[in-house]
Structure 1
Amino acid sequence: MQKGKIIKEIIGKVLEPEGFVFDKEIEKWGFLKEFKNSKSEIARQTVAFYFSNYKRKIFMVISCFSGGFDSYRINRFVPGCIDDGIEYSKDKEFKKVIETYADILKQYGLDFLKKIAEPQKSDYFRQEDYNKLFDDNESLAQKFIIEQQINLEHITIADAVKLMKDMLTEKQSRRFEDCREFFLEMAAFYGCVVIKTYPCKWVMEDFKTHAVCTLEIESEITKSLFVTKEIYFAWKKSVDRLDSLIIS
């Protein structure tokens, strides 16, 4: 049985008129839509299907990257629903299950997709920010180094993290929007310090549901650091979060 073909045909009739395209690399099979939200920011939505490892059971998950990333099972938008997947005992029942999910999308899902297309948070890194960090990290780092009068030659990773913590403490009363560019420069600066000790590079990781820019570091083992995320939570909650960036 060609499960992907069945999903493409049945779910496609609901989602393709809304701008979604079929992409078999999403989870097991799914649909992807790239668009601009009301703030003209790059956004993505996916509707994906995956299967239980233990039972013949199918789940549907909606994901959205617009003002942050979130995933939703159908219990989040279908009234009174407890989502435990939908079981099928025989292959011929598979089509009926997919038709059930198509009905759910038509009745509840399309309105929910429109609702979550709008940014759900007030402070967040956009796709444009990750693109900028990936494309312009050298110029961002140099701007930070010059404006903060940093001697890059003698600074260690631990020194850089201590400096970043002090600066974030001063920024915690400021609006995220006012600090966004500064945070990108800070992340790029951190990468400049790390590369003095370890081979590293900025990588754009595309998860289909969303894409982020991470710092890939080769130490004893290769690790990937989501530097902007650590900076965000250090600013939002506790600067001690940045201790995770000290590489030993």
Structure 2
Amino acid sequence: MQKGKIIREIIGKVLEPEGFVFDKEIEKWGFLKEFKNSKGEIARQTIAFYFSNYKRKLFMVISCFSGDFDSYRINRFVPGCKNDGIEYSKDEEFEKVIETYADILKQYGLDFLKKIAEPPKENDYFRQEDYNKLFQEHETLAQKFITEQQINFDCITIEDAVVLMKNMLTEKLSKPFEDCRDPFLEMAAFYECVVRKTYPCKWIMKDMKTHIICKLEIDSKLKLPIFVPNEIYLAWKNGVDQLNSLII
């Protein structure tokens, strides 16, 4: 039985008119749509299908990245539904399960997709555009930070850099995130430059299908991947001492 073909044909009739494309690299099989949300920001939605490891049960998971990121099974958007997937006893029933999921999408899913495509009213998050900027312009961002802060780059250590960043975060605690967005990206780029003095490292853009992330891959003994902008953001939100995690 060509299960991927069945999913593509039956679910595709519902999703492809909405701008989704079939992508077999999403979980087992799935559909992806990249679009601009109401704020004009890059957003993504996926609908993926995968199996339980323990019994004959098929799950459909809707994921959305539009400022926030979240994933939903059917019990989160179908009224009165207490099951997160659909069980079946034999392969011959698989097509019927997919047809049931197609009906769920038509009746509830399409409206739900429009609802979750709306970004948060607050701009308190990094956008895909910010990660793109960090990946593409990190050298320029780092040099801007070094120049503006009059840093003696030859002498600074990773620990020195973290202390400097903590002090700057403390000064920005009362500022709205919109005023901190660019300085935080510059901070992240600067941190990478300092780390590079000790460890080989590079920025990586990783396509998770549900969304794209920008992380710093450090070739130390621990082989660290660090989501530096997020670490800075969380330290700004929850306490600057959290930034000590960047001391390696």
Task: Tell whether the structures are fold-level matches, with TM greater than 0.5.
Answer: yes
What SS does the corresponding residue of 1:216 show, helix, strand or coil?
strand
> Are the aligned partners of 2:73 and 2:85 in contact in 1 as well (CA < 8 Å)?
no
2-structure distance, mates of 1:170, 1:63: 36
- Counterpart of 2:148 in structure 1 is 147
Q: What pairs up with 1:92-103 in 2 under 5 angstroms?
A: 92-103=92-103
- Counterpart of 2:64 in structure 1 is 64
- Counterpart of 1:207 in structure 2 is 208
State TM-score, norm by structure 1: 0.97
2-structure distance, mates of 1:84, 1:110: 18
Matched, 1:6 2:6: yes
What SS does the corresponding residue of 1:80 show, helix, strand or coil?
coil
Q: Deviations over 1:4-26 (max 9, x none)?
A: 00100111011000000000000
- Counterpart of 1:19 in structure 2 is 19
> Are the aligned partners of 1:67 and 1:121 in contact in 2 as well (CA < 8 Å)?
no
- Counterpart of 1:35 in structure 2 is 35
Q: Deviations over 1:2-50 (max 9, x none)?
A: 1100100111011000000000000111000000111111110000011
Deviation at 1:174, TM superposition (A): 0.6
Deviation at 1:229, TM superposition (A): 0.8
Deviation at 1:121, TM superposition (A): 5.6
What SS does the corresponding residue of 1:236 show, helix, strand or coil?
helix
- Counterpart of 1:107 in structure 2 is 107
Q: Deviations over 1:91-127 (max 9, x none)?
A: 1100111111111111111011001111036211111
> Are the aligned partners of 2:73 and 2:84 in contact in 1 as well (CA < 8 Å)?
no
Matched, 1:138 2:161: no
- Counterpart of 2:47 in structure 1 is 47
Segment drifting more, 235-244 vs 123-132: 235-244
2-structure distance, mates of 1:18, 1:143: 43
Segment drifting more, 220-229 vs 206-215: 220-229
**AA at the equivalent of 1:238:** G
- Counterpart of 2:130 in structure 1 is 129
Deviation at 1:165, TM superposition (A): 1.0
> Are the aligned partners of 1:68 and 1:125 in contact in 2 as well (CA < 8 Å)?
no
**AA at the equivalent of 1:105:** L
Deviation at 1:72, TM superposition (A): 1.2
What SS does the corresponding residue of 1:118 show, helix, strand or coil?
coil
Equivalent pairs counted in the alignment come to 247
What SS does the corresponding residue of 1:174 show, helix, strand or coil?
coil
State TM-score, norm by structure 2: 0.97
1-structure distance, mates of 2:147, 2:200: 23
Gaps of 5+ in 2: none
**AA at the equivalent of 2:71:** S
- Counterpart of 2:83 in structure 1 is 83
What SS does the corresponding residue of 1:209 show, helix, strand or coil?
coil
